[in-house]
Structure 1
Amino acid sequence: MAGKHHNDWHDSRNFTSMLGLAPTPAEVEEQVAPLFDGERVFDVCHVGLVLRAVLGVQALLALGLALAAREPLQWLWWMSSGTVVTLSAVLFWLLLVCGARRPLARLREPWQWAVLLGLGALGASLGWQLLNLASDEPSGWFRQLSVALAGAAMAAMLLYWMKLRERSQRPADALAQLVELQSRIRPHFLFNTLNTAMALVRVDPNRAEAVLEDLSELFRVALAEASTVVSLNEEVELARRYLDIEQIRFGERLRIRWQLDESAGNARVPPLLLQPLVENAVRHGVEPNDAGGALEVRTKSRGAEVEILVSNSVGAASSVPGHGLALRNVRDRLRLMHDVAARFEVRQEPGRFTVRIVLPR
C-alpha cells in the first residue's frame, strides 16, 4: 500500500508538471528573482533595525571617547554631549531613508552613496547645532567640518551594513520562497478538487463551476509573481476560497467559524500567510477524524497591532505526519517583513492546536 501511494504521488507530480502547475526550475528562478530588490536595502522602517543602528553608533561613540578620556567622569560628560549629536543624527537619517526608500532604490549606486552620505553630514551638523543651543563654547569652521565628516562616515557605515544585511538575507529569502513554491500546490489536493468538481458536474453544474473558479483563483495567486505585501483582507478572501472547496469535500465534518475585525483588514502581511495555516488545520485536524473537526479563524485589532488566530480541534493523529515546513515558512516570512515587530506563537493544548500571529497594523 505504501508503494502504491508513493507511485501515485509521483504520477500526480508528473501530471501537474505536464499541466504546468508544478514549479519548474526556470519558474522558481523567475519567482525568486524579485527578491533581489534594491528597495529592501532601504527598508529601515522597523523597530528592531532602528534599535540596532542606534546601539551600534552609540557603541562606537563610547569606544572612541573612551580612548581619549583620562577618567570615567570625563568620559561620561563627553558621552552625554556626544549622544545629543549622534542620536539626533541617526534618527534624522533613518527617518529620511524610511520615507524615501522607493526613490532611493531607483537611483544608481554611486548616487545612493552620495545622497545618503550628504544626509549623514546634514544630520550630524543639525545635531551639533542642537547641542550648541545649550553651550556657550565657540564652534569654528574646523569643528563644524569635523562633525559633518563624522556624520558622513556614520552614514557610510550604516549604508554598508544595510547592503550587507540585504545580501545576507537573499539565501534565506530564496530558500523560504522555494519551499513556499514547492508547498503551495499539493497534487493530491488538486486531484481531490477535480474529482469533487467532476462529481458535481451532472448533479449541480453551477456548484461545480464555483469549485473550479475557486481552484483557479488559488492557483492564480500561487503561481503569480511574488509580491512584497498584501492586505489581510486579501488573505482572508483567499483562505475562504480554499475552505469553500474543502467544505464541499468534507461537508458537515468541517465546521468553520469566522470572527473577523474589519478594522484589522488593512494590515500588511506576506502573501499566502493564511492559506498554509488553514490547510494545515484541515489536513491534520479534520481529515484524520471520522467525526471531522472545528476550525476557527479570528482577527482582531489591538491598538497599533493586529492579532490573527488560526485554531483547530485535534483528534486522531494524521496518517501523514507534518514536518512543520508551512509553520517555519510563515514564521520566516513574517520575520523578514516585520523583524522583531511581529510575533509568531504555536500553542498545543489537549484537543486544540492554535497559531497566534501579532504584527503591526
Structure 2
Amino acid sequence: MHDTGASTLFDDLREAVTAPDASMAEALQLCRSGTLLRAMLLVIVVLGVGLMFGAHGPGSWLADLSGAATVAVPATLLWVLMACAARHLIARAAPAVQVAAASTLGAVAALMLWWPMASVGMAPGSTHAIAPALTGALLATLVFQSERWRQRARLPAAAAARLADLQTRIRPHFLFNTLNTAITLVQLDPKRAEEVLEDLSDLFRAALGALDQATTVGAEIELARRYLAIEQLRFGPRRLEVEWDLDANAAAAKLPPLALQPLVENAVRHGIEPADKGGTIEIRTRRRRDRVLISVTNTVAPGPSRPGHGIGIASVRERLRLMHDLDADFRCGLTEDGRFRVSIGLPC
C-alpha cells in the first residue's frame, strides 16, 4: 500500500525545485518592504561605483552621488510601485517579456522624475533624455533579475523547510496516544470517541497536505483547537488549561499552512507534559491597523527544562520569512513572569 499523502508532499517539493521562470516571477515579492530596501541599496551601490570613474576626488564623488540620488531614489520607489501594480500581468508573460516590461517601467520611472527637474535646470548629468531612460532601464533590469535569482536561491531553502516541517508534524507518540484515548472512549462515550478520530483525521490531512498554498489565521486557530481538544482528553482539563483571546478581525491574515499547530504542540510537550501539576496555554490574536499579532504563551515546569531540537520553531520562522519576507516578525523567549512566549507579527 502506498502512502499517497507523503507522495503528494514529495511531489510538491520536486515541483518547487523545478518551477519554471513564469511561476517564479509570480512568486516574486514585488510589493514587500524587503524588495524596496534591496532595490534602493542596489541602485545606490551601482550608481556610486559608476560615478567613481568620473569623479575628481571624494568630495566630487559625494556631490555627484547626491545629485544622482535625487532622481534615483524616488525613481526606484516609483518603479517598485508600478511593478507591484502590474505584477499579475508580468507573471503571466513569457520570461523575456517580463524582463522587457520591468526594463520599460524602469525607463518610464526615471524619465518621470528626471523630466520635471530637467525643465527647471536641476537635473544632474546629461541634458538628453536618453541617458536617464537607459540608466533607469538597466537598473530596473538588474533589480528584477536579482529578485528572480534570489527567489531561485530560496527554493532549496523552502524545500528544506518543508522537509523539516514534515519531521516535526508526524509524531508517532501523539498518534498512538490519541488512538489509545479513542479506544478507551469507544465503550465509555462512543460519540466522543468518534469526535476524537475526526479531529485526528483532520489534523493528519492538514499535515500531509500541500504546503505551498497560503492558509489563514482562522483556519490555523481551528486546527489548533482540534489538537488541543485531543490533548485535553489525554491530560484532563485541570492539568491542561487553554485560554483563548481571539480577535475576529485577525482571522483573514495569511499564514503558511501549519504554522500555528507546531507552536502549540511545543507548548504542550515542553510546558505542560513535564509539569506534574500541568499548566496553562494562552493563544492570543490581535489586529493593529495593517498588522496582525499572534502569540502562544505557556507556563514553564519548575526545575531544569528539557531542551528540544528547535526544528519546529525554526521551520515556522523560515516559512514565515519565505511567505512574508521582511514584513514578518518572529520572536520567542521567556517573559518577565517566567512563561515562554512565541510572538508572530504579520501584514494584513
Taking structure 2 as the reference length, what is the TM-score of the superposition? 0.89
CA gap of 1:243–1:138, structure 2 versus 1, over 3 A, is closer
1:360 and 2:343 aligned: no
Tell me the distance in 2 between the aligned counterparts of 1:114 and 1:276: 43
1:4 corresponding residue in structure 2: none
Structure 1 contact 41–162 (Cα < 8 Å) conserved: no
Change over 3 Å in CA distance of 1:55–1:136 after alignment to 2? closer
Aligned-pair CA distance for 1:136: 7.3
Q: 1:131 aligns with which of 109, 113, 117?
A: 117
2-structure distance, mates of 1:117, 1:318: 59
Partner of 2:170: 185
Query: Does the 8 A contact of 1:85 with 1:130 survive in 2?
Result: no
Residue of 249, 254, 263 corresponding to 2:240: 254
Query: Is this contact kept in 2: 1:104–1:112, CA < 8 A?
Result: yes
Corresponding position of 1:273: 259
Alignment of 1:271-350 (within 5 A): 271-315=257-301, 321-349=307-335
The corresponding residue for 2:134 is 149
Shift in alpha-carbon separation, 1:139–1:119, aligned structure 2, 3 A: same
C-alpha displacement of 1:186: 0.9
Are the equivalent residues in 2 in contact too, given 1:40–1:166 (CA < 8 A)? Answer: no
Give 1:31 deviation, angstroms. Answer: 4.0
- Write the deviation string for residues 86-142 of structure 1: whole angstroms up to 9, x where unpaired: 1232122211222332332222211112221121222222122132243278999x8
| CA 204–42 in structure 1, closer or farther in 2 if over 3 Å, else same | same
Deviation (angstroms), 1:331:
1.2
Structure 1 vs Structure 2: percent identity of aligned residues? 45
Query: CA offsets per residue over residues 244-270 of structure 1, 9 Å max, x none?
Result: 111111112110001111222222222
1:284-331 Cα distance to aligned partner (Å, 9 max, x none): 111222211111111122233222111111115799741111111111
1:162 matched to 2:147? The reply is: yes
Q: Within 5 A, what are the aligned runs for 1:1-361?
A: 20=3, 23=6, 27-31=9-13, 33-34=15-16, 36=19, 37-39=23-25, 41-71=27-57, 74-135=60-121, 143-252=128-237, 253-315=239-301, 321-349=307-335, 351-361=338-348
Q: Hey, what's the Cα distance between the residues in 1 that align with 2:156 and 2:303?
A: 34
Residue 133 to residue 242, structure 1, CA distance change in 2 (3 Å): farther
8 A Cα contact 2:24 2:152, kept in partner: no
- Is the Cα–Cα contact under 8 Å of residues 216 and 252 in structure 2 kept in the other structure? yes
Instruction: Please tell me the residue identity of whatever aligns with 1:180.
Output: D
Q: Partners in 1 of 2:2 and 2:271 — Cα distance?
A: 30
Kept in 2: contact 1:34–1:226 (CA 8 A): no
Letter of the structure 2 residue corresponding to residue 145 of structure 1: I
The alignment partner of 1:68 has SS state of coil
Question: Any conservation in 2 of the 1:258–1:297 contact (CA below 8 Å)?
Answer: yes
Q: Runs ≥4 in structure 1, deviation > 6 angstroms?
A: 136-140, 317-320
Q: Report the CA distance shift for 1:317/1:217 in structure 2 as closer, same or farther (over 3 A).
A: farther
Say how many residue pairs are matched: 342
The letter of the residue matching 1:23 is A
Compute the RMSD of aligned alpha carbons.
2.6
Distance 1:131 1:346, change over 3 A: same
| Residue identity matched to 1:223 | L
Unaligned residue ranges in structure 2 (runs of 5+)? none
CA distance in 1, matches of 2:96, 2:4: 42
More divergent stretch after superposition (267-276 vs 78-87): 78-87
Question: Could you list the per-position Cα deviations for residues 50-104 of structure 1 after superposition, in whole angstroms to 9, with x for gaps in the alignment?
Answer: 1121121012212322321335555454334322321232122211222332332
What amino acid is the match of 1:107? A
Contact 1:123 1:151 survives alignment (8 Å): yes
- How far apart, in 1, do the equivalents of 2:199 and 2:2 lie? 18
CA distance in 1, matches of 2:54, 2:125: 20
Give the whole-Å Cα distance in 1 for the aligned partners of 2:95 and 2:303.
54
Partner-residue secondary structure (3-state), 1:330 = helix
Does the residue aligned with 2:241 lie in a helix, a strand or coil?
strand
Letter of the 1:337 partner, please give it: M
Aligned to 1:10: none
Change (3 A) 1:315 1:258: same
